[in-house]
Amino acid sequence: MAIGDIWDLIILSPMINVLIVVSHYLGGSFGLTIIFLTIVIRALMYPLTMKQLKATKAMQSMQAQMQELQKKYSKDRQQLAQERMKLMKETGVNPFGCVLPLLIQFPVWIALYQSIIRVLAVAPEDFLNLSSGWEMVFSQVPLESTFLWLDLAAPDRFMILPILVGGTMWVQQKMTTTTSADPRQQAQSQMMLWMMPLMFAFLTMQFPSGLALYWVTSNIIQIVMQYFVTGWGGLRPSADGKKVPAEKKSTGRAVKEKAPLSADDISADIVETSPAREEELDYGNN
Amino acid sequence: MKTGCMGTFSLINRMKRCLYPRWKVIKNHPVPGFKPLLLLLVLLLGMMLLPGCFGMANVPKGWSGVVVVDEVLFVFSMEGKLVADNVTDGSRLWEVQLVESQSSGGLLGCAPASAAVAVYGSPAVSGNITYIGGYTGKVYALVFNRDEPRWVYPREGYLGAAIVGGLVVHQDEVYLATSDGMVMALNAADGYREWVCDEIGDKVWSTPVIEGNTLFIGSFDNKLYAIDINDGSKRWEFETEGAIVATPLVYDNTVYFGSFDRHIYAVDITSGEQVWKFPSSEEDEIIPGNWFWSKPVIYNGVLYAACLDGKVYVIDATSGRSTAGVDYYDLGSSISSSPVVVGDLVIVASEEGIVYALDTGDYQKRQLANLEEKIQAPLAAAQGMVFVHTAKDVLHTIDTETGAVRSFTLSNE
């Protein structure tokens, strides 16, 4: 059996069947069906999501300890990294925590994309293949492809969904963002805060709006869950209404800005060093 | 510059020398969580490429049927090539490659910037011009033995909707329908649009049929439409309970067609009133088990309708009831290809690749050929031969008397 056949048998066909049957009971609305599917998937992922949110909350609570470490090992980046990892292990925080829920959803996204193409009669070959399924399934197709202003088989031509996807993802990221004394970590947080929403917004402009509807619904559910676990987090303004500033300005450089790089300095930016130079440096961990 | 295996190894070594130091930096990055985040970004990029790189974009290939005009057969290959062959000896008379400038699958780079045109309908031929409707939404008028089209429609870009059904040429006009529910007429000589009918409520995948001054076409909104070919106005519509993808058949002032509601309908072409419906009620003994996808045929007052449940239903065209001889032929495999009549035989092909001859005299079913290739394109017939274009892009010619088969690969080897 080819990989494609296995994928069809285990993931895709069951998903198509479920979508069609649920659509039948939701008055033929495929948009509502996608929202329902999202809720079910998030419900199934609830334990994992809660674990991730609690880890996020723990990360937020140990910021004071992180800052202590930062002060103590400011000159020794490697030791600082080791102490941080040790602290995370002790408190049970997993740096992979935020990645795992997304990784698990990847096959869901791919299967949903393919399901949309089939049940909404986009490509004739795929649609014809539906006729070989259950009678209850093929008697319902093709499904209604319009939902509100959307054609679920095509990208949103009014660009509302890309904004919603990017916006909700930004809010979700912002709620988990913690201010850090480490300028590098702060820079990394800022990068992820903007890069992920922009990337998903771009994807939304390319893919069928049915898939984007899934993302928006999923993000909103995540935001609600996050609020009840971690509160508004990074979205919360400070007491005087201003943003909570970082304790140190993030410059990406050491305090002595003009100090030349030494052989022991492992804080060099990837982009700024040359391969030859990097080969000379000893990063430890050999 | 090194070539072949040595060149490959040299390139790999250079890449390793370039990437390894960077990998060491990433591995020893002081910020925890950096690696998983980088992994996430890489995976997201992979997701953007996945639909194109792993065939998950379901790139349409088409299933063009064959048209035979004056000893020349025309067919559109799955590699985007219009082919014209001599019917008698199969020699290639002409071929022209059509390429579209927008990719039909994938997001970034994996699907090519230009791709072969996919065609689902059969070509339409008038004089020395062949008309083709491409899936990406463009109509081509190709002159025999020339590489450049005489005209294309639209002149720039694409229609924004797929053309899945075939084109029809009638009295110097080309008629087509699109998957956004438009039916339009183009001037056959220069490609200018004469009219467009936007009264159809959903996508159209079937091929139009013209009788007199009326065009008949079915839609996914469950309706069959009758449209005036002079100005594109709607004359009447007839509603069923399922989508209509099958091309209608007009015979003796009646239009016959199948629907996704598993019924065959006969409708008066003038009034749009139902003449009969098969089966007439749910209590009938014979209930089709799946969609009607293909165009029916009529011989000697008897309608033969092929169904995706693998059966060819035999119906009296006047009464809408099963005939005395046989209720249906069971081919054992789904039938999406439209059958043809050759002499007193109805030739039909199952999706699994077996071509049958149904004898209308003694109601016997005879296997003509087992091509062992998926068949979805409509059949064509001329000079006692049947032409079958399979999903492997091979054109088979079958002699209906002897069963002899000749095969020609349309794609480049």
- Kindly determine whether residue B290 and residue A131, on different chains, have CB atoms separated by under 8 Å: yes
Token pair recorded at residue B152: 């294309």
Token pair recorded at residue B85: 């062959």
First to last CA, chain A: 44
Q: What is the pLDDT of residue A182?
A: 65
Backbone angles phi, psi at A60, to 5 degrees: -65, -40
Token pair recorded at residue B124: 């339409």
Q: What is the pLDDT of residue A100?
A: 72
Evaluate whether B328 touches B389 at the Cβ level (below 8 Å). no
Q: Taking 50 as the threshold, does the pLDDT of residue A248 lie above it? A: no
* Residue B13, Cβ density class (10 Å: 0-12 exposed, 13-18 middle, ≥19 buried): exposed
* Average pLDDT for B309-324: 92
Minimum-distance CB partner of B18 among A196, A270, A275: A275
Evaluate whether B286 touches B279 at the Cβ level (below 8 Å). yes
* Average pLDDT for B361-382: 94
Q: What is the pLDDT of residue A276?
A: 47
Closest-CA distance of chain B to residue A220, Å: 20
Token pair recorded at residue A70: 């930062």
Other beta carbons less than 10 A from residue B393's beta carbon: 21
* Average pLDDT for B212-234: 96
* Average pLDDT for B364-388: 94
Q: What is the pLDDT of residue B109?
A: 37
Q: Which residue of B has its CA nearest to A106?
A: B47
Q: How far apart are the C-alpha atoms of B62 and A160, rounded to whole Å?
A: 33
Q: What is the pLDDT of residue B222?
A: 94
Q: Taking 80 as the threshold, does the pLDDT of residue A124 lie above it? A: yes
Token pair recorded at residue B227: 């449209």
- Kindly determine whether residue B56 and residue A121, on different chains, have CB atoms separated by under 8 Å: no
Q: Taking 80 as the threshold, does the pLDDT of residue A222 lie above it? A: yes
DSSP, residue by residue, B16-64: HHHHHHHHHHHHT-SSTTHHHHHHHHHHHHHHHHHHHHTSTT----B--
pLDDT tens for residues A28-52? 899 999 999 999 999 988 888 888 8
Find the helix or strand (DSSP H, E) in which B171 lies: none
pLDDT tens for residues B15-50? 556 555 555 554 555 444 555 566 666 666 666 555
Q: How far apart are the C-alpha atoms of B307 and B350, rounded to whole Å?
A: 10
Find the helix or strand (DSSP H, E) in which A126 lies: helix A124-129
Share of chain B above pLDDT 90, in %: 68
Token pair recorded at residue B217: 């076409």
Q: Please state whether beta strands B264-268 and B254-258 pair in parallel, antiparallel, or not at all (unpaired).
A: antiparallel
Q: Taking 60 as the threshold, does the pLDDT of residue A282 lie above it? A: no
Q: With H, G, I as helix, E, B as strand and everything else as coil, classify residue A85.
A: helix
Q: What is the pLDDT of residue A284?
A: 43
- Interface with chain B: mutation pick from A99, A104, A129, A194, highest number of B CBs within 10 Å: A99
Q: Taking 90 as the threshold, does the pLDDT of residue A143 lie above it? A: no
Find the helix or strand (DSSP H, E) in which A79 lies: helix A77-91
Q: Is the pTM of this model over 0.80?
A: no
Q: At A120, is the pLDDT very low, low, confident or very high (cuts 50, 70, 90)? A: confident
- Secondary structure percentages of chain A, helix, strand, coil, to 5: 65, 0, 35
Provide the ipTM.
Answer: 0.79
Minimum-distance CB partner of B25 among A4, A85, A270: A270
Cis omega (within 30 of 0) on the bond before B30? no
A110 CB neighbours in chain B (<8 A) are 47, 50, 56
Backbone angles phi, psi at A244, to 5 degrees: -70, 120
Share of chain B above pLDDT 70, in %: 81
Q: What is the pLDDT of residue A126?
A: 85
Place of tokens 């992180």: A66
